[in-house]
Amino acid sequence: MPVSSPAYSAYRLLWSGLDLLFPPVCGGCGQTGSRWCGNCQQSLPKLSEPVCDVCGVPLEAAGLCADCQRARPRFNALRSWSAFDAPVRNALHRLKYRRDIGLGDALAVHLSEYVAGLNWPINVVVPVPLGRGRSHERGYNQVGLIARPLSLALRLAYVPGALMRTRETRSQVGLTKNQRRDNVSGAFRADGQLVKNKVVLLMDDVATTGSTLSSCAEALYAAGAQDVFALTVSRALTRHGLHSA
């Protein structure tokens, strides 16, 4: 794991103190005593290797998947910490609907180790933004609950204002790959003052086809980003028997 910054050490100390005062509940299984327990970490549904060099989908042999050969996404590479299945699915639903800030921090601890192992030359963390309607309804971006402590752990700048939606989009759930791509095409704009000449870690909670991340990456490159690497907590793989986001 990367060497902790003083800010991150203080952040972790704060949560340790709160856990002593208010015993936490695991976001994966509901057991009391930890925000993300050892059993859930041990049962983490990992993606099988090898994966596509670009989009990170599991393959039978190393290289590029058929989709990336036909139309390569705009990001340099996408990787996911887990498959979208229990117990991670439970934890992400808790983040999305219950604003469990402590759970976001607990997951960021493990994600920081995973990202460090990728050896990406990143220097800023940018979360995929919510639409105005969803942001107003929910009051927060669940991706930021993980992305912010992750940036502290990795000693990187966190710039949630670097990327914004230029229009409302419909939910991607239930759409085909082509429909997902069309739904988010041109839906994002990046702030060049925040991303120009930066290597961006673009973060979302779940990836299915990667269409949203690719559209975000296109906006970041248009604003002058040097490179864009994409990270999600989970990957939904319906053709592998796992759930869609």
Exposure string over 90-105, b if 16+ CB within 10 A, otherwise e: bbbebbbeeebbbbbb
For the record, the structure tokens of 22 come out as: 């208010």
Sign of CA dihedral 55, 61, 64, 65: negative
| Stronger pLDDT, 58 or 7, i.e. the higher one | 58
CA distance 117 to 233: 15
Helix axes 101-118, 6-21, angle to 10 degrees: 140
Strand partners, 125: 158, 201
Tens-digit pLDDT profile for residues 126-167: 999 987 767 777 889 999 999 999 999 999 999 999 999 887
Q: What pLDDT is stored for residue 137 in this prediction?
A: 78
Extents of the domains making up the chain: 6-240
| pTM of the predicted protein model | 0.88
Residue 204 backbone phi and psi in degrees, to 5: -140, 170
CA distance 102 to 27: 10
46, pLDDT greater than 50:
yes
Fold of 6-240: Rossmann fold (3.40.50)
For 185, the 3-state DSSP assignment is coil
Strand partners, 176: none
